[in-house]
A and B are shown apart, each in its own frame.
Chain A
């Protein structure tokens, strides 16, 4: 049947959004923000749980924000409990690894080395680095999910 101008415009919009999504995703992998584990998560998503990736990543955001607060407090103490600091960083390394947030994970690895050395200054710098990487990762992922939402709202399917 003959498509109206409106339908034609909508199809074009979906196409543009889908291309934007594909390019943006590719850039996140290229720039090392995401690794293969993120792809694994996308592959686990299905119709029975279409928001799986968003849900897991949201859990990650919640947990990380708490961990970063705990870390800030721990490094602020007169006498720093490096065992505690290391335990928090280990947790963060684990969860970032589980969602494929590669740069956050790598920042944690560096952090743990300085925990071992019990170097407060270096640890504080590492914490800043981790916070920065987390902030970047969160922005990127939020943008990605927003793109997905836009595609869905425009009536299209998210290319996976």
Chain B
């Protein structure tokens, strides 16, 4: 049960937004190793430009590649990840259906709440792990549903089911897991994933 992506392939195109050179390089690698196409930008305004949401009539807009997921750092100078999230999720936004994931090195519950309420798919603690990306990828490919209510149910499902991050999910995307190399050793991921879920609230 794979989600049909516009160009017909099973590769997700992820837009990564982070002002840190180091973090951008790492997230890019994590995504490439997980067989995702990546576009990495260093600010919220560049992200909006890329998405064609910056309101500029003469903006370059898409390079033709539909974006399936946006992963953005929370703390950025200029426009924060939260502000970027709000802009993308506006009622008038043509791209409000694109799932947005917030990444942060600081676990501030009020911040997490705010982001989830504004429509963020997930809130990941930095440094982001390969297991986080794998989990995200299979979640997106399963099709997270268009209605907000459906999304909430699935989010709760992932939280309630402690084994959801292991075999049940990966068995449904077994054709893709061949692309995912190298696999991290099982024990670290299984101890880390419940932690990030707790962090997500």
Contacts and interface: CB of A to CB of B under 8 A. Distances in A.
Does chain A bind chain B?
yes
Interface of A: 36-37, 40-41, 43-44, 46, 49, 52, 55-56, 59-60, 62-63, 87, 90-91, 93-95, 97-99
Contact of B29 (A52, A62, A87, A94): A52
Interface stretch (B17-25, B62-70, B107-115, B168-176): B17-25
B126 A44 contact: no
A98 to B, nearest CB: 5
Contacts, number: 57
B145 interface: no
Contacts of A55: 25
A55 B28 CA distance: 13
B12 interface: no
Contacts of A87: 77
Nearest to B184: A43
A62 B21 CA distance: 10
Contact of B20 (A36, A52, A94): A94
Nearest to A100: B127
Contacts of B20: 63, 91, 94-95, 98
B59 interface: no
B182 interface: yes
Interface of B: 20-23, 25-26, 29-30, 33, 75, 77, 105, 126-127, 129-130, 181-182, 184, 188
10 contacts: A37-B127, A43-B182, A44-B33, A46-B33, A56-B22, A56-B26, A59-B21, A60-B22, A97-B126, A98-B23
Contact of A49 (B29, B75, B127, B188): B29
Contacts of B127: 37, 40, 97-98
Contacts of B130: 40, 43-44
A99 B75 CA distance: 18
B29 A93 contact: no
Contact of A56 (B25, B77, B126): B25
A99 B23 CA distance: 9
A98 B126 contact: yes
